[in-house]
A and B are shown apart, each in its own frame.
Chain A
Amino acid sequence: MFTPSHFTAVLLFALCASVVFGITMRETPQRMVRYGLYCFLLFVGSAIVLSWGMYLIAR
């Protein structure tokens, strides 16, 4: 059984979803890569920001 940490799961999820979003939502390879990176950073960044938000609310 694979038991990743929450952050590892976020990274894996963001990586796979970003690849699909990048390829399907843009037309040229360069724009695909840029949009994929943008989605990946948004996934991971929003997870970190929301995590800190919940941590501060819980204190």
Chain B
Amino acid sequence: MAATPNSPSTPKSAPQQGFVYLPLIVGWLVPGAGHFLVRKWGRGLLLALAILTMFVLGVAMQGKVYSSAHDILDILGLAGDLGSGLLYFVTRGLGLGADQVQVTTADYGTRFIVVAGLLNVIAAVDAHNLRTGRKPA
């Protein structure tokens, strides 16, 4: 008769102490920082590099940074831009980006900025899942 290991069958869960939404919020404000909080240094660095590169390239292409929401497309664009957290506010504060798309590459840049924000939201949610144990570390 084979001996069965005397261990619980349920998977280990991460400790739930502290404020579990901290990696989500910090990860939203600063790309990759949520993963740094849960000690995933390599993943955090790669995420930060990818998202920052995408955002900076978008601004360098003179992409539009949404500042107001007059119609549904502007609302969606603004929501995407806000996903970048502090990057969005710093960019607005420094007056970077363009108000109007005037060249073809600026249209690409606008998409880069919006998608960088959306990717940052995905990364922040991933950090939250690592913190709560929903995703195995």
Contact = CB atoms under 8 A, between A and B. Distances in A.
A27 B123 CA distance: 13
B60 A2 contact: yes
A21 B62 CA distance: 26
Chain A interface helix/strand/loop/mixed: helix
Interface in A1-48: 1-4, 6, 9, 12-13, 15-17, 19-21, 23-24, 27
A17 B60 CA distance: 18
B111 to A, nearest CB: 8
Chain B interface helix/strand/loop/mixed: helix
Interface residues of B, number: 27
A32 B136 CA distance: 13
A28 to B, nearest CB: 9
Contact of A13 (B47, B51, B54): B54
Contacts of A13: 54, 111-112, 115
Interface of A: 1-4, 6, 9, 12-13, 15-17, 19-21, 23-24, 27
Interface of B: 43, 46-47, 49-51, 53-54, 57, 60-62, 103, 105, 108-109, 111-112, 115-116, 119, 122-123, 125-126, 135-136
